[in-house]
């Protein structure tokens, strides 16, 4: 089934509401809201150093069946797959 842009926007909102990136030791605050695993968001523009990744404990991780980590630096799940 095709996922339309409206549906992607809805999903992005849900991901952002559950994202735990802001509590992560690698997080740098440059006004971003996390959700880096999501294809319409992807890499951070300011996080560059891998100081640990807490994605594995995020509710989105299980819900979306994610397999990768460090989405902020390495790119979204889709980009890394
Ligand atoms: S899996 Fe990681 S990047 Fe994705 S919403 Fe959760 S904490 Fe944020
Ligand atoms: S994607 Fe992982 S490493 Fe990057 S800020 Fe989120 S939890 Fe931390």
Query: Residue 7 corresponds to which tokens in the numbers above?
Result: 């549906």
For the chain, the residue count is 81
Q: What is the SS3 string spanning 12-76? A: HHHHHHHCCHHHCCCCCCCCCCCCCCCCCCCCCCCCCCCCCCCHHHCHHHHHCCCCCCCHHHHCC
Query: What pLDDT band is residue 2 in, cutting at 50, 70 and 90?
Result: confident
Average pLDDT in the 23-47 region?
98
Q: How many Å lie between the centroid of ligand 2 and the Cα of residue 25? A: 8
Q: How many Å lie between the centroid of ligand 2 and the Cα of residue 78? A: 16
Q: Is the minimum distance from the CB of 34 to ligand 1 under 6 angstroms?
A: yes
pTM over 0.85: yes
Question: Is the predicted pLDDT of residue 1 greater than 70, yes or no?
Answer: no
Q: How many Å lie between the centroid of ligand 1 and the Cα of residue 38? A: 8
């Amino acid at each position: 089934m095709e996922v339309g842009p409206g549906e992607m926007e809805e999903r992005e909102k849900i991901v952002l509401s559950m994202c735990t990136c802001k509590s992560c030791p690698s997080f740098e605050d440059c006004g971003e809201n996390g959700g880096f695993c999501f294809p319409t968001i992807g890499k951070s523009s300011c996080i560059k150093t891998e100081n640990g990744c807490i994605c594995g404990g995020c509710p989105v991780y299980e819900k979306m069946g994610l397999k990768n980590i460090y989405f902020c630096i390495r790119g979204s799940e889709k980009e890394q797959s």
